[in-house]
Structure 1
C-alpha cells in the first residue's frame, strides 16, 4: 500500500481541523467502531470513544496545549525506516494505533519526542511536499547546543527540538593524563629495578616521527561527538534526509589576545592577526609576533621565554612562548618582574573548540554549512533570543536560513549527558591468577606480582619471601579471560536509566559489589543516593548520549 507522507505532514485530507484534544469536531465521526478499537469486546461506553491504551498514549502526548490550539507534533517513520514529515493529526495517529498499524516510540517518561513507526506501510516519495528542515549545532568543548527546526513559507523558523549535550571530552583529557602518569611511573620503576640488578637500562629513543601523523585522542573524540550528536538528533526526531541540511557555528578564537587580558572589541577576537608562515621557526615567529620585548619594548638581544616551564608540563608551542630581552628574561626568572601574560592554560576549552572547528571545516564529505559567529550573533540579537547554548543553535539555523521570526511554542527541550559506554577495565577484565595450599578453599596469594587494586592478599613474590618452604606445595589456578564481563551481569553501569518510585533516574554505577545502585539524582526521589535493585526497574541501557529529561520549551529552564 502506498502512503504519501505529504498526507502525513501537510493537512489532514478531511476538510477539518482537530480540536484541542485532537478529535474530529463532528460527533458523527467520533463513534467507537468495535472492529477497529474494541476488537469484538463489549464496549464500556457504546457510541463514544473508549479509553484504550492507544488513546491514553495520545492523551499524554497532547498535554502541550497553548491557547486551545494543539501544538504537539509526532514524528513518523515507515516500515522501512524512512522518515516522513512530523504531523499534528492526533486523530489519524489514534486511528493507526487502534488498527494495530503502528506503534509509538519515545514520549512519556523517556523525555524524547514521540515517533510513530508504521507497520506494513511505506511512504510514497513521488508525492512529496517540499519542506526545509535544518539541524544546527553550537560547537563546544564541554557543552554543545543543538536544534531541529523547519523554515516555513512565511520565513518563520519553527523549532521542533532544542537542547544541550554535556560532553565527556574533558574526561578524555583527564584519562589520558592519568595513563601517561602510570606509564611514566611504570617505566621509572623498571629502570630502577634494572639498575639494582647491575644491568644497563635499555635506551629507547623518543618516537617523534609517530606523534604528528594523527590527531590527539581528545580532538578525535570532540569531532566524533559532534558528528554522532547529529545522528542522535535525527534518530530521536526523524525527518527526511533529502530535505534536511546541517549547519554549525564556525569559530576561531585568538588565544593570544585572550591571554593578554585585552580581547578585541566585537567579534575581532575571533580572528588571529598574525599567523605562522610555512617553514618559519617557532623562535622567529615569536619575535615577529611580539615585535620586541613585551616588558620594555627593546629590540636587542631578544630571547623566547616559556610561560609555563617544561618541568611543569609546559610545551614548545608558540602559545606558550613570549619574546623577552636578555635583561628582562633574567629578571623574570629571578622573580623581580611578573609578566602580564598568562600561559593560556585557562583557555584549554577555547583551543579545543578551535581545533574541532578546524577539522569540521576540512571535512567536506560531511556536507555541513559553516556559519560565522558574526552572522549568528546578529541573528540572535535581531530575533531577541537569550544567550544560551540551545538558543545559540537556533540562532545558527536562523542565520543560515535568514529567518524573520522564530516560533518556540511547540519546541521540545532536551538535556543530554554523554557517558562512557565501554570501560577498558571491563573489556580486558580477567579472573586473577590464584595460588592455593592443599585443603584450603581460600587463595593464599594472587598473581605473580602485586597489582595496585589487589587488596591485602599478597602476591606470589611476597608469599615466597614470607613462606619459602610452602611455595612448592602451592596449586596454581591460571588467570581466565572474562569474555562476557560486568556489562552483561552487572546490575547497572554508568548511564543506565531506572524507574524508581515512578521517576526516571540515570544511574552513576553500582556500590558494594552490585548490592546497591548509585546516583546523585536519587536524593530528590528517596532521600539517599543509593537504592537496592529490587526497589526499581531498568528502563533503558546506556546509549552513550543519555536523555536526562525532556519537556516543552521553557526559557527559564535553560537560562
Structure 2
C-alpha cells in the first residue's frame, strides 16, 4: 500500500483556484474559511494525515470484503524522535534538550545562528534581527527550533514581499511524527490485537526460519508457535485508478483526441479476455484494436482485436485486482486471521 504524499499540494492548488474564481468578474463570493465547522471541531486532522488514516481503513474494509476475517493482528512501530535528531543522546540527555539554559526559543535560535542573518543574500543587512518561521503556522508549521531561522528586518520584509525564496530543508522527523499520529487514531477506530517488531523478528528467524520481507513478516505476525506454512501458488495484486478518464487529448500540441467513455462496449481499465490475451484495457482505438496490460503495467498485447470473441470479465472500478502467480506463503491453520505489517 502506497500512501499519498501530494494531498497538501492538492489543497494549496484548490485554494489557489478558489481565490482566482473570487477575483473574476462574476458574482461576489465572500471568504468563508473561518466559519467552517471542520476547522473548529475537536480532534480535527490535517488533510494529509486524514488521507493516510483513511487509506489504512480503506484497505481494512477491502480485505474484509473478500476474506472472512474474524480477528486482526497489527504490528505497530514507535520512533525515538530525540534519537533521530541527535543519534548520540543517552540517559539524562533526554532531559537536556537543545534549549537548555536559554530563556526562550527565540533566544536559542538567535544564539544558534550567531546573531547573523541566515538568508544568504549578498545585500546590505539591517541591524535589527527577526526570527522567521520557515513553514508558516497557518500551513502546519510549528514553533520548534528546526522550523525557525534568523533573518534581518530587510530580508524578512523582502521574503514576505516575494522578492526571494528561502530554501527549506525537509524535517528528519516528519514521517516519524505522522506515523505516531496515525497509530493513535487507528487505535481509536479499529479493534485489533497489537504486536511489535521484536516479536515478529523472533518468530520469523527463530521459529519459521524465513528471510526478511514484508509478506514473510505478515505471516510471522499471525502464526502461533507450532503452526506450519506452505507456499502459495497465486497472490492477489491490487491497483488504484481514477474514477474517470480526464485526459482528452495527447501529443505535443494536444492535437490527437483520445476516445473517452465506452468504445465497442468497453471502457479503459475493463478486464477483458481476447484471443490475443487477457488483461486490462490500456488504450482504445476507434479501429477496434486495443492495447492490453497486466495490473502491474506490463504489456499483454499492443493491438488486440476486441471486435470478435471478446469477453468482459469485470468492469472498471477504482480498485483493480488480478490474481497472479507468485512465490508467496500462506498460513495453513489460521484462515480467518490476517496480519498487517
Say whether the fold is shared (TM-score over 0.5): yes
Q: Which structure 1 residue ranges, 5 or more long, are not aligned?
A: 1-142, 144-166, 266-272, 275-287, 335-340, 426-454, 457-484
Q: In the alignment, is residue 291 of structure 1 matched against residue 99 of structure 2?
A: yes
Counterpart pick for 1:248 among 66, 74, 89: 74
C-alpha distance in 2, partners of 1:539/1:206?
49
SS in 1 for 2:307: helix
Q: CA offset at residue 246 of structure 1?
A: 1.1
* Residue 56 of structure 2: aligned partner: 226
Counterpart pick for 1:344 among 159, 164, 171: 171
* Residue 491 of structure 1: aligned partner: 266
- Contact map agreement 1:516 1:531 (CA 8 A) in 2: yes
Q: Taking structure 1 as reference, are residues 414 and 493 closer, same or farther at Cα in structure 2, changes over 3 Å only? A: same
C-alpha distance in 1, partners of 2:262/2:197?
43
* Residue 6 of structure 1: aligned partner: none
Counterpart pick for 1:537 among 311, 326, 340: 311
Q: CA offset at residue 346 of structure 1?
A: 8.6
Q: Taking structure 1 as reference, are residues 289 and 226 closer, same or farther at Cα in structure 2, changes over 3 Å only? A: same
* Residue 121 of structure 2: aligned partner: none
C-alpha distance in 1, partners of 2:262/2:81?
42
Aligned structure 1 segments of 4 or more residues deviating by more than 6 angstroms: 304-307, 487-490
Q: Taking structure 1 as reference, are residues 415 and 212 closer, same or farther at Cα in structure 2, changes over 3 Å only? A: farther
* Residue 39 of structure 2: aligned partner: 211
C-alpha distance in 2, partners of 1:300/1:180?
29
C-alpha distance in 2, partners of 1:539/1:263?
58
SS in 1 for 2:150: helix
* Residue 505 of structure 1: aligned partner: 279
- Contact map agreement 2:263 2:286 (CA 8 A) in 1: no
* Residue 301 of structure 1: aligned partner: 107
* Residue 127 of structure 1: aligned partner: none
SS in 1 for 2:222: helix
C-alpha distance in 2, partners of 1:487/1:215?
39
Counterpart pick for 1:393 among 212, 218, 242: 218
C-alpha distance in 1, partners of 2:287/2:97?
58
Q: CA offset at residue 502 of structure 1?
A: 6.0
Residues 63-462 of structure 1 mapped to structure 2, 5 A cutoff: 143=1, 167=2, 169-170=3-4, 173-174=5-6, 177-178=9-10, 180-188=12-20, 190-191=22-23, 193=24, 206-207=34-35, 210-213=38-41, 214-238=44-68, 244-255=70-81, 257-258=83-84, 260=85, 262=87, 290-292=98-100, 301-303=107-109, 308-310=134-136, 315-317=140-142, 321-322=145-146, 329-330=150-151, 342-344=169-171, 347-348=174-175, 350-363=176-189, 366-383=190-207, 384-398=209-223, 403-405=224-226, 407-420=228-241, 422-423=243-244
C-alpha distance in 2, partners of 1:368/1:345?
30
- Does 1 or 2 have the higher relative contact order (CA < 8 Å, sep 6+)? 2
SS in 2 for 1:226: helix
Residues 40-55 of structure 1 mapped to structure 2, 5 A cutoff: none
Counterpart pick for 1:547 among 315, 318, 321: 321
- Contact map agreement 2:273 2:311 (CA 8 A) in 1: yes
C-alpha distance in 1, partners of 2:193/2:97?
32
Q: CA offset at residue 248 of structure 1?
A: 0.8
SS in 2 for 1:385: coil
TM-score by length of 2: 0.58
Q: Which structure 2 residue ranges, 5 or more long, are not aligned?
A: 111-130, 157-167, 247-253, 330-341
TM-score by length of 1: 0.39
* Residue 525 of structure 1: aligned partner: 300
Q: CA offset at residue 369 of structure 1?
A: 0.8
SS in 1 for 2:300: helix
C-alpha distance in 1, partners of 2:180/2:262?
36
C-alpha distance in 1, partners of 2:98/2:14?
38
Q: CA offset at residue 538 of structure 1?
A: 1.9
C-alpha distance in 2, partners of 1:369/1:175?
30
Q: CA offset at residue 554 of structure 1?
A: 4.4
- Contact map agreement 1:257 1:263 (CA 8 A) in 2: yes
Q: Taking structure 1 as reference, are residues 545 and 321 closer, same or farther at Cα in structure 2, changes over 3 Å only? A: farther
SS in 1 for 2:200: helix
Q: CA offset at residue 359 of structure 1?
A: 1.6
C-alpha deviations, 1:346-378, integer Å up to 9, x for none?
Answer: 954x55543332222112xx4311112332233
